[in-house]
Amino acid sequence: MTLNVLFSAPPQRWDAFRAPLNQALQEAGIEADLRTDHPPEKVDYIVHAPNGGLSDFTPFTRAKAVLSLWAGVEDIVANPTLKIPLTRMVDSGLAEGMVEWVSGHVLRHHLGMDAHICRKDARWDPVVPPLARHRRVGMLGLGELGTACARALAGLNFNVSGWSRRPRQVEGITCLHGKAGLEEILSHSEIIVLLLPLTPATENLLDERRLALLPRGGVIINPGRGALIDDKALLAALDSGQVAHATLDVFRTEPLPPEHPFWTHPQVTVTPHIASETRAETASRVVAENIRRAEAGEPLLFLVDRAAGY
């Protein structure tokens, strides 16, 4: 039987995914008709990006699952028309890209690279950074991406602690959880990396009170979700010197509006949501495997817990 698979994402995604997704489906032994224009009532599976224009799932009466191309599902998880299983994207390419971006920016701040790159006054100032094993890094979020980044940083000898809402164990990483664990990790981490999902429980997680817990002059790196941080509180902490620098890849509104003060603040680095990207080659295999599993009656990979929001 041929399965009708609807690809619902911006046109550039279709251009990138069409060949590798068809190939992945064939390699998984799935006979599929992959299109962007199937009639809703004939669709078996939906490969979905929240910015692809599809928000009403009511007409998809025979669809068996929605397979998201994004790691974050906050834009779809509460959709009242979505009654079928939803999966999020977890794939090796996404993790590799995030590890590289996070490691690069942690090293940048650890080594003080900005001072060396930007210096134009011919002043010889040999400030030597501490070794990585003396630099305390806190990873907020120990999901697939947070765990991968924490392990990579520990492999570079950084003193890494991780925090999650629920208890976790990651070899080589000091793992904390709950309200007390969050306050502890904030109070001793010189560099904080945020890789949490955005849920009602994590929105504005770093507010004025929690930013004040950081060691003075700490650094914040956010490739997770923009709304994890209270923008006004962060700007105030930067102005006071409580936070020395913030490297931000994600924002409440994207693209970041030209008038937003993050663009011009001297202690803020803005990157345009490039910390990691869903790579068609690796992500296609995840989508195909989930369709194979669903057809075989096996549990889906990376099934979203609607109550938790991720």
Q: Which residues are catalytic?
A: 225, 273
- Report yes or no: 215 and 240 within 8 Å, Cβ to Cβ: no
CA distances from 195 to 30, 56, 145, 208 (A): 34, 29, 7, 19
Locate tokens 């990207």: which residue?
277
Locate tokens 């929240």: which residue?
50
The Cα–Cα gap between 139 and 307 comes to 24
Q: Specify the 3-state DSSP secondary structure of 261.
A: helix
Q: Which helix (H) or strand (E) holds 211?
A: helix 208-211
Q: Specify the 3-state DSSP secondary structure of 191.
A: strand
- Report yes or no: 44 and 25 within 8 Å, Cβ to Cβ: no
| Bridge partners (DSSP) listed for residue 45 | 5, 65
